[in-house]
Chain A
Amino acid sequence: MKRMWRRRRESAPGVLGARYVLSRIGQGLVVVVGAILISFALANLTGSPSVATGGGMLTAEQVWQLDEEYGYHDPLAERFVNYVTDAVRGDFGQSYRLGAPALDEVMAALPYTLLLVGGALILALILAVAYSLYAALHRDTALDLFLRGALVVMLGLPEFWLGLMLILVFSVNLHLTPAVGYAGWSSTILPIVSLGLPLAPSFARLLRSELLDVLDSDFVVVLRAKGLSDRAVVLRHGLLNAMPAFITFAALQVGYLVGGTLVVEAVFAWPGIGSLMLSAVTGRDIAVVQACVIVLATSYVILNLIADMVVLLIDPRVRLGRI
């Protein structure tokens, strides 16, 4: 049994950094290839979409003709090569329902989803930083304990239900915001809150424990001995040292955010990828589902790559290969 994980190479920091970046990019590419394989398998396990397209009204002959058009009569290997070469060029074929190129549909919806996900991430981040700063400075006070309890409850909030409750309170009763659809900035508030609020507790709990870990470490004792105030220690040293672990964690959570986006978009009739994908799934619009899967997987990979680069930039330990 070799202990591969303990082997440490002694190289220049720059080389290690570059190797790290390359290996992360390699892993990202593997994921995108995996997504392409899955989406291909998807189209070919479901059988021909021609039956669904016609809504069961087509004769066997017409179905056969449609299959011929979509290339379902070619050998599997040939279809696979065609699919991959087309996918790499961004061509996923036409949407069966809308007639437009599938990728165009997805790209038109992408900004709305990014707005939602970005807003939710920022909201969760603000709440998490505010809470964990308070918890670090006032550990185990009554309010800290109360907030910890509130976080456990918030962790269990289903996004779709929170969204409906927000609509009930703010749109139906108070008439403050539009209930559904995209209509200017005021319509973004409720979807962002219902996506970001359930995300905040896991961020806050992680950041709090990271921050408390940092505050218990030796160098903080030195800083305190130097005469730095609690506030200065937490703000200048604690938060910055807690960041790398937090950023990595936050980027991984985006995978779960995709799921949250889906239900939140469904609740608010939001014109993003979630709604598109959901209607494509129920309508068996395979081309659009494939494009959605690949675009989402790619953006997820890019986001994690950015997070890794940021960590590399702010945490010298990673650059030196100590983690």
Chain B
Amino acid sequence: MTTESAVSTAVTTNGARSGWLRRLWGQKSLFLGCSLALILIVGSFIITWIRPDPSQQHLEYALSPPGTNGYPFGSDPLGRDVLAWCAAGIQTAGIVSAAVVLISATFGAAVGLVAGYFGGWLDAVLMRIVDLQLAIPPILLFLAASTIVEPSTFNLIVLLSIAGWVPYARVVRTKTQSERERPYIAAARLSGAGHLRILVTNLLPAVASTLLVLGSLSAGYVVLWESGLSFLGLGIRPPRASLGYMISQGRNLLTTSWWIVTLPGIAVVLVVLAFNLIGDGLRDRAGLDARTDL
């Protein structure tokens, strides 16, 4: 190996690496979003590792202000550690929003692909269902269901997924309609591929980037819904930690104990901010415009 080629290899590898970093840095919102998400994930796992049980009560230390009695973020009326609760609550929010986005994106994409690919009466029927659900505010569906089922994490995930699949179906359908007219789909059909094969191996990859953008943007909304409903007592209940629940614990103590409301709220804002920054960054990358947010 000559010196010259060794140098050029080193330059290319180095150049490629810094190019990757520069690209990420160039997309500031994606970079900021990923960093924030990383900080939140690592931070919350370190805290839950140090304090594994956020529900542990110490009534003798109830309502300690931040920084006293070994509570960096203070404690709630039952002497639970607000910091540990926030860390566990961030994880809950992440799990719930990941589950909801996965379920609603899968279902919505399936409906959108089928409607866009087959067209005709199937498309018409599916889109009327979409219109109907789009017209009824999701919270009404949710409250209607809440009179029937008890609030629980599982029910929250199911109900939020039912309320959230519609945007995916609409966006995927539009994309599929334009995609199915392209030559490679005709080529696939000529080579003997069945409908299912075309849908899964050709059309699904074509709509994947759109799905990714929509998914990360709606993840932020899911976190807001989760915290709001848990605040109202219709979402996640203890012993599972939820940021919204902790805020509701502090709402009547606002005059004396500001930290119970303020700090978990900031945690919600940070989680949503991370998702929105990532979504914005992915959207810019995919070359979609600002109107794709739903």
Residues of A within 8 A of B (CB): 1-5, 27-28, 30-31, 34-35, 38-39, 42, 45-46, 152-153, 155-161, 164-165, 167-168, 172, 202, 205-206, 208-210, 245, 249, 252, 254-256, 258-259, 262-263, 266-267, 277-278, 281-282, 284, 286, 289, 292-293, 296-297, 300-301, 304
Contact = CB atoms under 8 A, between A and B. Distances in A.
Contacts of B293: 202, 205
Contacts of B140: 35, 258, 292-293, 296-297
Given A1-B119, A160-B231, A168 B261 contact: yes
Given A31-B132, A165-B265, A259 B228 contact: yes
B139 A5 contact: no
A135 to B, nearest CB: 12
Contacts of B134: 252, 255
B137 interface: yes
Contacts of A282: 233
B33 to A, nearest CB: 9
Given A35-B136, A158-B268, 20 more contacts: A2-B119, A30-B131, A31-B135, A35-B140, A152-B276, A152-B280, A155-B276, A156-B273, A158-B228, A158-B244, A161-B268, A164-B261, A168-B262, A210-B291, A256-B138, A262-B232, A281-B147, A289-B147, A296-B140, A297-B140
Interface SS of B by simple majority: helix
B137 A258 contact: yes
Nearest to A286: B147
A249 B272 CA distance: 22
A142 B216 CA distance: 27
A281 B231 contact: no
Given A27-B131, A164-B247, A208 B137 contact: no
A157 B228 CA distance: 11
Contacts of A160: 228, 231, 244, 247
B50 interface: no
Given A46-B147, A161-B261, A282-B233, A156 B137 contact: no
A259 B262 contact: no
Given A155-B220, A209-B290, A262-B232, A165 B262 contact: yes
B29 interface: yes
**Which A-B residue pairs are the 5 nearest by beta carbons?**
A156-B272, A259-B139, A161-B265, A255-B137, A209-B290
Contacts of A263: 228, 231-232
Nearest to B277: A152
Contacts of B273: 152-153, 156
Nearest to A38: B144
B251 A164 contact: yes
Interface in B227-242: 227-228, 231-234
27 contacts: A1-B118, A1-B120, A5-B177, A31-B132, A31-B136, A34-B132, A38-B141, A42-B148, A152-B280, A153-B273, A158-B227, A158-B228, A161-B268, A161-B269, A168-B254, A168-B261, A206-B290, A254-B137, A255-B134, A255-B135, A262-B232, A286-B147, A292-B140, A296-B137, A300-B135, A300-B137, A304-B135
Contacts of A42: 144, 147-148
B232 A266 contact: yes
Given A205-B293, A281-B147, A155 B261 contact: no
Contacts, number: 155
B71 interface: no
B268 A258 contact: no
Given A161-B265, A300-B137, A45 B224 contact: no
B258 interface: yes
- Quick one: which of B128, B272, B277, B290 has the most chain A CB within 10 A? B290
Nearest to B217: A155
Nearest to B29: A152
B2 interface: no
Nearest to B128: A30
Interface in B196-223: 220
B63 to A, nearest CB: 16
Nearest to B124: A4
A249 B268 CA distance: 26
Nearest to A255: B137
A153 B148 contact: no
Interface in B30-57: none
B57 to A, nearest CB: 23
A208 B254 contact: no
B136 A297 contact: yes
B60 interface: no
Contacts of B191: none
A267 B248 CA distance: 9
B96 to A, nearest CB: 15
Contacts of B119: 1-4
B5 interface: no
B146 interface: yes
A286 B144 CA distance: 9
A267 B220 contact: no
Contacts of B271: 156
B3 interface: no
B255 interface: yes
A63 to B, nearest CB: 18
B4 interface: no
